[in-house]
Amino acid sequence: MIRQCHDLDFDTIYLIINEAAIKYKGAIPDDRWKVPYMSKDELRQQIDEGVAFWGYEEDSKLIGVMGIQHVRDVTLIRHAYVRPERQNQGIGKELLLALCRQTKHPLLIGTWANAVWAIRFYEQHGFKVVPQEEKDRLLEKYWLIPERQVETSVVLADQKWFDLY
């Protein structure tokens, strides 16, 4: 079942993000890796800035989470994480499709340039990497992230975005 997450899910979201983010270790630049990958303060800030988390639940237990954030004329998919032992079983796909259905705006996704598995996952669902100069502009316009993260990220967009821009 896919459902919106609530305040009571906060600690579980935090755990899932940080368990799943282990995948980044050794893949993303060393200066971007830390433990926990996302602190509770950072997670709270993301939610306060408008990221709404949705979760994939099984037997009353959250297995994966994904955030959606509406920013001006686009919708961002943020923070996609599935418990490590349940990855590659289609849960991310279910979450992504459920979130994509929630908006009529063009969709954008930012991820680490070295997270090749994540890029492939989004490409399988129709997203395409935007050109480098466009990426920098989009990250500055729609995301609140440090300069170093801009340098080491890619942005993927759906067909609607490519048709409009």
Ligand X SMILES: CC(C)(COP(=O)(O)OP(=O)(O)OC[C@H]1O[C@@H](n2cnc3c(N)ncnc32)[C@H](O)[C@@H]1OP(=O)(O)O)[C@@H](O)C(=O)NCCC(=O)NCCS
Site residues (vs ligand X, CB under 6 A):
20-21, 23, 64, 80-82, 87-93, 111, 115, 117-118, 120-121, 124
**Shortest Å, Cβ 117 to ligand X:** 6
Which residue, 81, 79, 93, 68, is CA-closest to 19? 81
**Shortest Å, Cβ 42 to ligand X:** 15
**Shortest Å, Cβ 51 to ligand X:** 12
- The residue among 159 and 163 lying less far from ligand X, judged by its C-beta, is 159
- The residue among 88 and 132 lying less far from ligand X, judged by its C-beta, is 88
**Shortest Å, Cβ 141 to ligand X:** 19
Q: Residue 40 carries which side chain, given as an amino acid letter?
A: K
DSSP, residue by residue, 97-155: HHHHTT-SS-EEEEEETT-HHHHHHHHHTT-EEPPHHHHHHHHHHH----HHHHHTEEE
Residue nearest to ligand X (CB): 92
The encoded tokens of residue 3 equal: 């459902």
- The residue among 37 and 163 lying less far from ligand X, judged by its C-beta, is 37
Torsion of CA 47, 50, 56, 59, to 10 degrees: 50
